[in-house]
Amino acid sequence: MRMRLAQRPLAAFGMAAFLALALSLGGCTGEPASPGVIGAATAETATADTSGLAAYPSSTPKEAAKPVLGRAGETATSEGAAAGGRTIIAEPTAADLAVAGPLGDRVLGSAGAPLTVYEYASMTCPHCRAFHASSFPAIKQAYIDTGKIKWVIREFPIGRSSGNAWIITRCAKDETWHGLYERFLAEQASWVSQEVRLDAIYAVAAKEGMSRSEFDSCLANQPLVDGLNWVKERGRELGVIGTPTFFIGTKHVRQVLTPDEFKAIVEPMLSGGVVASSG
């Protein structure tokens, strides 16, 4: 049965079923776990356009796509070693993680919280969607809303569809960006497909109040695209190879955490009074 399913084309059973199948299979990359990493490296498996390196497709087919939001599947190496022309930091410090880049960080919670969590996510990743559907609401209520944790969401798009969605989310207003982020994840089945569908992506953004003129202007904002490229490249330097990836303080975690698993990690940090993050 699995072989027959694997051989059927995506269109035969739809994107929603494909996302469900990918999530059930776990989506591991096969990359070895690095020291200090909990669990296997989690990768995005449901996006069919991951081979593209463009940040987003042109609004007109004749225009060249923009470079590059990067590749998946690279292994973190020791600090100072080169991988694909970049230096990979094997064990990032709090100061390394706190570097926000030209766009600044999108943050939930108190800036003065004793612990910072960095989440690297791809909008088309079914594992990111699963985390935000099943775990994040309880984590937010217990730790972010109570001032215990500052939560930083950073872009790690895999594929052009995710790149488009992240660009649009960066253009959203301060009061709507997080709702748009959550909506893109929750409504993946409506806009993720083998082809990048700008109209479908806009339909999601429109639900959070974005006009079509704002949407089109956002996609044409090259400084913003350059800034997102910086965030993606910096994530790769920090050892991010798949999504979701979390840095809890400085602890590198690559798995979909349950609320109880998250609690088991953060409570010793918080009760010990150790400032495990900065920025």
Question: CA distances (Å), 233 to each of 50, 71, 100, 176, 238, in order?
Answer: 16, 10, 12, 26, 9
Cα–Cα–Cα angle for 38, 45, 186, rounded to 5 degrees = 90
- Residue 232 CA, distance from chain mean position: 9
How far is 38 from 171, CA to CA, in rounded Å? 33
Quick one: what percent of the chain has pLDDT higher than 70? Answer: 67
Do 209 and 176 meet the contact criterion of CB atoms below 8 Å apart?
yes
Give backbone dihedrals phi and psi of 154, rounded to 5 degrees, phi first: -120, 150
pLDDT number for residue 194 = 84
Flag whether pLDDT at 12 surpasses 80: no
pLDDT per position as a tens digit, 100-134: 999 999 999 999 999 999 999 999 999 999 999 99
CATH numeric code, 2-271: 3.40.30.10
Question: CA distances (Å), 129 to each of 54, 160, 232, in order?
Answer: 23, 18, 19
Q: Which of 139, 168, 138 is nearest to 155 (CA)?
A: 168
pLDDT number for residue 31 = 30
How far is 221 from 237, CA to CA, in rounded Å? 25
pLDDT per position as a tens digit, 32-73: 333 222 222 233 333 333 333 233 332 323 322 232 232 333
Domain boundaries defined on the chain: 2-271
pLDDT number for residue 22 = 39
